[in-house]
Structure 1
């Protein structure tokens, strides 16, 4: 399992609730978190899924996402 980090615009508790079903389905409950205190709203994901799967889940939920290298 690898740790992936993304810059997002998921910036509050309501946003997290909105994206939760999409990320839970894609990477599993408890395998992701969003640091809303960070100015870049960092999404950290522990998964074996492809980066594109995570990006698709977040964009399907209506949020912006960009992989951090």
Structure 2
């Protein structure tokens, strides 16, 4: 299990709702959340073999931007 972090421009719950169906259908993701109260609106994803480009493409499809920041190689599902 690894955790991926992305900087996004998703700033509200309504916007999170727009990305939800697109992120939910991506392979390998077991859990995700967007911290809309942080300055960089960080998207954290827990999963196995998650493709960062597919995540960025899903955000773009919903009308938002996402910049891949890093992968943390840890076990568990804590974001």
TM-score, structure 1 as length reference: 0.88
Distance 2:54 2:29 in 1: 15
Higher mean displacement: 41-50 or 4-13 = 41-50
- Rounded to whole Å, the distance in 2 between the matches of 1:40 and 1:12 is 12
Show the counterpart of 1:38.
38
What is the correspondence of 1:1-69 to structure 2 with a 5 Å cutoff?
1-27=1-27, 31-48=31-48, 49-69=50-70
Alpha-carbon RMSD = 1.7
Give, in whole Å, the separation in 1 of the partners of 2:28 and 2:13.
19
Unaligned runs of 5+ in 2: 71-79
Shift of 1:55: 1.0
Q: Which has the larger radius of gyration?
A: 2
More helix by share: 1
Please state whether the residue corresponding to 1:14 is helix, strand or coil: helix
